[in-house]
Structure 1
Amino acid sequence: MRFLRDRLASHLLPWLRTEWLLAAFGSLAILLALADPQPLDRYQDWLQVPTLAGLMGLMIAIQGIRDSGLVQRAAIVLVTRAHSLRGLGLMLVAGAEILAMVLTNDVSLFLLVPLTVAIAGLSNLPLARMVVLEALAVNAGSMLSPIGNPQNLLLWQSSHLPFLHFVQGMAPASALASLLLLALTALWLPGGRVELDRNALDSRPLFPPLAVLSLVALASMVLMMEHGLALEGALGLLLPFALLARDSLKRIDWPLLATFAAIFAGLGHFAALPVVGAVLDRFDFGQPLTLFLGGLLGSQVISNVPATVLLLDRAHDPLALATAVNVGGFGLVVGSLANLIALRLARLPQGLRQFHRVSIPFLMVCAPLVYLTARWLA
């Protein structure tokens, strides 16, 4: 008995401290499955297999890019040309916003966070602050585009709004969030010069074959996701990487993928409970403030993609719902999956605490300003 207790203490407790999100949402999914059994196809819908497959394909490609040494070379180029920490930070934040408009918030983070980690390893750039800012940046940037994040894509396709009409409707909220974020970046980052660690400059050689394979894999994965073939794209990457870059496959953060699966299954089931629907039926989501608060608070509890699904048939204004759930991506870490991806990729000690110290006040300032601006322009 003592042997088992010691084994649990030495293995299970450290795992729980590291993978507490996986344990929490996995337990929620199992408890709901036992208490409220559902047909298999409902679990498949909740798991969002295309999204999980897309994440897996991106993780494979980005791990290959990191192992090839390409990220480190790009980091050296940026660091050696930067004049100040604040300027470098503003460039990374602006890049995160622009990329998120085109490549989606998740893809942008898979590219930028490893680059930022590499830059911080070469210089005095404050890594924790930059990763938090980049997480906020991709949420602010992706808000503008119908293809910037999953909730926008869902609302755009279901509403059949013209592309430019959607962009115009989201422009005020995205612009306001972006301006607030740039101001935060300028105030929060130190203004000193970039200091290089010369000993770390050429720490990893470039491996061109893996770099080419990984860049092709990333481009093909994005294209497959755009055409609704994420599962086929991800499975198609397994064979070449298993043959040519097996070590990269081993280094992928597979528990992160399992965490997303647990979140999708647990929160999807929770949102579909009859008691949740009964509570929501008491509210009039035709009222602008009710819809805004519903999307905002719902995102804080079950993340913005499940909140969008939950309110989709109850909201009469898709752009108002899009605004609410996108702003809801700020605040608590679960508000947007991009937040979880950023913190997990960077593996920051005390990263969750650092994120909430900034993201919650940011939400409290941004949300009322966005709502008042939207009502003024209505």
Structure 2
Amino acid sequence: MRDDRVLLILIVGFVALQIARPARVGELFARIDQHTILTLAGLLMLTRAIDQSRFLDWLAQRLLRAFRTERRLALLMVAFAAALSTLLTNDVALFAVVPLAQSLARIAPVRIERLIIFLALAVNAGSSLTPLGNPQNLFLWQHSGMGFGAYVVMMTPLTLALMAVLLVMCAIAFDSRALHFARRGPTHSVRWALLWTALALFVAFVMMADHGYAGWACAGVAAVLLVARRNAVLGIDWLLLAIFVLMFVVLRGVAEMPQVRATLGQVDFSGAGVAYVGAAVLSQFISNVPAAILLAEYSHNWPALAHGVAVGGFGLAVGSLANLIALRMAKSSKIWWHFHWVSIPFYGIALCLGFIALKWM
């Protein structure tokens, strides 16, 4: 815990918030999005089980044989992550692609930190396309009354522009050097029974979580994996769960402060420009999901809010919960700084692209 700066910052923030505006235990628990926490816990168990099946090492070898240069491999991974995030949400997509990227790095000299940074940006960009891509899209889509197809059409120009820029940046960041096996990973030692069990649980888990049964789904996954592979349950990243719990408690506590609400109440968010900039900027401080929920009380300009929170996922790591998941999975302290060297300039470009996309509507 002493080495986890994000956790320490959140603990300090929690203490400061409790001193400034004390809240009861029931109020603190009410701020926690239990569905998100239980979904995250289930995904952590499932991805750990898949990783322990050794299938990802097996798949990584075949990808390296098919895409022998680092640039081609990085472009494939970024495009795949973005496409996956349009259907399975950005955090679920990360739990699929980041462990695969780490398997690639175990057997070939892939610059793993750089690749994880681009994967985090890719799932944020790709997930902006559909209502299923991320929680803030789902929230805004349900409240806007728009059809599924209409929402996708509305977000297509921005998503395509973001992906075009991201792929160009990715091509520049990775060179065309050939990749050679640093060592041979397992070829015939895949634990197929564990893999198929985890995949079957994964499908059932996603379906149940999408229908609001995350608690039962998480309990079922834990029960099966405690029998099949106990370490897949006991060995997950518990600090990541603690970080997300504290994020909900602290960030929603800040959003509920009378001073914050009074300040927002003085701003006219009915105009597209103000709503867009407000969503993009506020996301940098309280994350894009709480920003969408909070600003929906002050503006019904759904296109502007949707574009704003999509852009707000870039920039600071706290802008999107997916960023925090990816950076935590990297298990490197330096990646936090490297991420912002790429993400903040991309945020500036995305902010301009969002303005242009709104004007074309």
Kindly provide the amino acid, as one letter, of the partner of residue 342 in structure 2: V
Q: Tell me the number of residue pairs that the alignment of Structure 1 and Structure 2 aligns.
A: 361
| Mapped partners of 2:340, 2:224: distance in 1 | 40
Kindly provide the amino acid, as one letter, of the partner of residue 66 in structure 2: R
| Mapped partners of 1:67, 1:117: distance in 2 | 13
Structure 2 segments unaligned to the other structure (5+ residues):
none
| Mapped partners of 1:311, 1:57: distance in 2 | 30
Kindly provide the amino acid, as one letter, of the partner of residue 200 in structure 2: V
Q: 1:186 aligns with which of 171, 175, 185?
A: 171
Q: Tell me the CA shift for residue 83 of structure 1.
A: 2.9
What does residue 321 of structure 1 align with? 305
Q: 2:147 aligns with which of 162, 165, 184?
A: 162
**For 2:65, what is the secondary structure of its paired residue?**
helix
Q: Tell me the CA shift for residue 32 of structure 1.
A: 2.4
Cα pair 2:57 2:100 within 8 Å, conserved = yes
What does residue 2 of structure 2 align with? 16
Q: Percent sequence identity over matched residues?
A: 35
Q: Tell me the CA shift for residue 183 of structure 1.
A: 0.6
| Mapped partners of 2:125, 2:188: distance in 1 | 34
Within a 5 Å distance, the mapping from 1:147-296 to structure 2 comes to 147-197=132-182, 199-202=183-186, 205-296=189-280
Cα pair 1:46 1:268 within 8 Å, conserved = yes
What is the alpha-carbon root mean square deviation over aligned residues? 1.5
1:23-51: per-residue Cα shift (whole Å, max 9, x none)? 22133234324542446554334210001
1:89-116: per-residue Cα shift (whole Å, max 9, x none)? 1110000010000010000000100000
| Mapped partners of 1:200, 1:332: distance in 2 | 37
- Greater Cα offset, 356-365 or 215-224: 215-224
Q: Tell me the CA shift for residue 78 of structure 1.
A: 0.8
**TM-score, length-normalised on structure 1?**
0.92
| Mapped partners of 1:205, 1:344: distance in 2 | 28
| Mapped partners of 1:77, 1:69: distance in 2 | 13
| Mapped partners of 1:332, 1:110: distance in 2 | 21
- Greater Cα offset, 311-320 or 270-279: 311-320
Q: Tell me the CA shift for residue 203 of structure 1.
A: 7.9
| Mapped partners of 2:174, 2:226: distance in 1 | 41
Structure 1 segments unaligned to the other structure (5+ residues):
1-14
Q: 2:45 aligns with which of 60, 66, 72?
A: 60
| Mapped partners of 1:158, 1:292: distance in 2 | 17
**For 2:160, what is the secondary structure of its paired residue?**
helix
What does residue 8 of structure 1 align with? none
Say if 1:296 and 1:168 are closer, same or farther in 2 by CA, change over 3 A: same
| Mapped partners of 1:262, 1:100: distance in 2 | 25
| Mapped partners of 2:68, 2:38: distance in 1 | 40
| Mapped partners of 1:51, 1:226: distance in 2 | 11
